[in-house]
């Protein structure tokens, strides 16, 4: 490091309409600050939340930072980590040539993340055993719910995490489903799991923080559970700010500092001929979130008390409660990528959008 160089850390998140999710994400920056007390640490979001990524970078620049270590706050590398965030960072660096931005890799399939996930699942098992009596793990099915992406590499990583948790913890069976975009979705996944004859099904959202999707996952869980009263459905907590999650973020920062931040490109659909996605090789790197940057802030005091279900974006709800109406389109890709807005970005169509257990079967839950 030169005498003139000053390092800062930037944590780049997706953003959520749920204000509690935004609050929880900010805990990552606080956790990293504890590890790097002498280094400026900021955070920002692609969409639906303030501050946006460029705001966080502005704060670092105002503190004299000349080299930014930018970490994607993403579990796996799909379009957001591969395209959207790098596009925002590249644009900012081009406009601020005195600042160098080094981009890190996603959290990924990591032993620390697996241990954090195992801890959250065990917490749910212990609580269920205490409340309802012990059910042996061999009589328990683990359902891991991933975000779901149009990137098969990211989706397959969720399945790998499922296998590591299944084999590591010794459950009788395990399945993987997804909250959107791909298949199987939560409801059909749980309906299938309910047919396998296990006494208990643990539903574990492999998500960093709460949000609209986590609430939707648990809503589907309640629906399926009501149809199968003979099965005990247990909801495990998402990862949140588990110490091992913060440790993994720290590891990613250290990788950037050491020049070892190498994203897995062997299975990247933008670089290689991935089965079924051959037409996406070489697509341009561009962000699709410019139209919703910053939208979502200012409703922390809504009747949802921060645990927003997105009804605050409904004009009648806002009028009833005296809230400012901030129109946003649904960024759920479950309905054939049809959005109620007019701008010039285009999401490459997911090739299996018509799968009977996937996007077209999704009924949006609040």
344-353 long-range contacts (CB < 8 A, ≥24 apart) are: 345/286, 345/288, 345/290, 345/291, 347/150, 347/288, 348/150, 348/280, 348/283, 350/150, 350/181, 350/182, 351/276, 351/277, 352/182, 352/183, 352/276
Q: Would you say residue 231 has pLDDT above 50?
A: yes
Q: Are strands 7-13 and 100-103 parallel, antiparallel or unpaired?
A: unpaired
* CB distance 183 to 352 below 8 Å: yes
Q: Would residue 150 count as lying in a domain?
A: yes
Token code pair at residue 301: 């005091």
Looking up tokens 């501050």, which residue turns up?
51
pLDDT confidence of 352, banded at 50, 70, 90? Answer: confident
Q: What are residue 68's DSSP bridge partners?
A: 8, 101
Q: Would you say residue 118 has pLDDT above 70?
A: yes
Count CB-CB contacts under 10 A for residue 137: 15
Q: Would you say residue 295 has pLDDT above 80?
A: no
pLDDT of residue 353: 74
pLDDT confidence of 311, banded at 50, 70, 90? Answer: low
Q: Would residue 96 count as lying in a domain?
A: no
Q: What is the DSSP string of 293-308?
A: TTTTTT-TTSTTTT--
**Cα gap 44→67, rounded to integer Å:** 17
pLDDT confidence of 170, banded at 50, 70, 90? Answer: very high
Tell me, what CATH number does 126's domain have? 3.40.50.1400
> Which pLDDT tens digit goes with each residue over 238-251?
999 999 999 999 99
Q: Would residue 224 count as lying in a domain?
A: yes
**Cα gap 332→149, rounded to integer Å:** 11
**Cα gap 52→13, rounded to integer Å:** 9
Query: Structurally, how many domains does the chain consist of?
Result: 1
pLDDT confidence of 342, banded at 50, 70, 90? Answer: very low
Three-class SS state of 222: helix
Q: What are residue 13's DSSP bridge partners?
A: 45
Token code pair at residue 335: 């309905």
pLDDT of residue 122: 98
* CB distance 300 to 306 below 8 Å: yes
> Which pLDDT tens digit goes with each residue over 13-57?
988 878 788 888 999 999 999 999 999 999 999 987 889 999 999
**Cα gap 58→42, rounded to integer Å:** 10
Mean pLDDT of the chain: 82
Q: Would residue 317 count as lying in a domain?
A: no
Q: Which contiguous run of DSSP H or E holds residue 228?
A: none
Between CA 202 and CA 209, with CA 204 as vertex, the angle to 5 degrees is 155
**Cα gap 103→173, rounded to integer Å:** 38
**Cα gap 259→162, rounded to integer Å:** 30
What's the Cα-to-Cα distance from 123 to each of 58, 117, 165, 240, 355, rounded to whole Å?
40, 10, 14, 13, 35
Most confident among 46-50, 288-292, 321-325 (mean pLDDT):
46-50
Q: Would residue 75 count as lying in a domain?
A: no
pLDDT confidence of 310, banded at 50, 70, 90? Answer: low
Lowest-confidence pick of 195-204, 255-264, 329-338: 329-338
Structural domain of 151: 111-235
């Amino acid at each position: 490091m030169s005498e003139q160089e000053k390092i800062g850390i930037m944590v780049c998140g997706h953003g959520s309409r749920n204000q509690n999710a935004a609050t929880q994400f900010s805990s990552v920056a606080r956790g990293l600050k504890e590890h790097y007390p002498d280094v400026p640490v900021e955070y920002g979001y692609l969409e639906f939340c303030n501050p946006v990524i460029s705001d966080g970078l502005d704060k670092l620049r105002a503190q004299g930072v000349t080299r930014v270590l930018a970490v994607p706050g993403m579990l796996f590398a799909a379009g957001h980590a591969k395209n959207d965030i790098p596009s925002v960072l590249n644009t900012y660096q081009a406009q601020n040539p005195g600042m160098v931005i080094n981009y890190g890799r996603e959290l990924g399939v990591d032993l620390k993340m697996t241990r954090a996930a195992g801890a959250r699942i065990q917490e749910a098992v212990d609580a269920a055993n205490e409340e309802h009596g012990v059910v042996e793990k061999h009589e328990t099915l683990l359902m891991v719910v991933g975000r779901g992406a149009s990137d098969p590499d990211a989706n397959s990583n969720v399945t790998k995490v499922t296998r590591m948790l299944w084999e590591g913890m010794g459950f009788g069976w395990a399945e993987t489903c997804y909250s959107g975009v791909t298949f199987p979705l939560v409801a059909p996944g749980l309906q299938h799991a309910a047919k396998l004859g296990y006494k208990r099904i643990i539903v574990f959202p492999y998500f960093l923080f709460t949000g609209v999707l986590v609430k939707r996952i648990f809503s589907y869980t309640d629906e399926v559970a009501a149809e199968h009263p003979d099965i005990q459905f247990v909801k495990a907590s998402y990862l949140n700010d588990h110490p091992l999650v913060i440790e993994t973020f720290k590891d990613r920062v250290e990788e950037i500092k050491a020049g070892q931040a190498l994203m897995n490109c062997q299975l990247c659909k933008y670089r290689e001929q991935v089965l079924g996605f051959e037409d996406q090789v070489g697509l341009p790197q561009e962000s699709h979130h410019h139209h919703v940057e910053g939208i979502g802030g200012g409703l922390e005091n809504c009747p949802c008390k921060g645990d927003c279900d997105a009804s605050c974006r409904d004009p009648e709800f806002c009028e009833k409660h005296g809230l400012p109406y901030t129109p946003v389109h649904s960024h759920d890709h479950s309905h054939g990528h049809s959005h109620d807005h007019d701008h010039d970005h285009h999401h490459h169509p997911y090739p299996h959008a018509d799968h009977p257990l996937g996007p077209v079967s999704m009924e949006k839950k609040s």
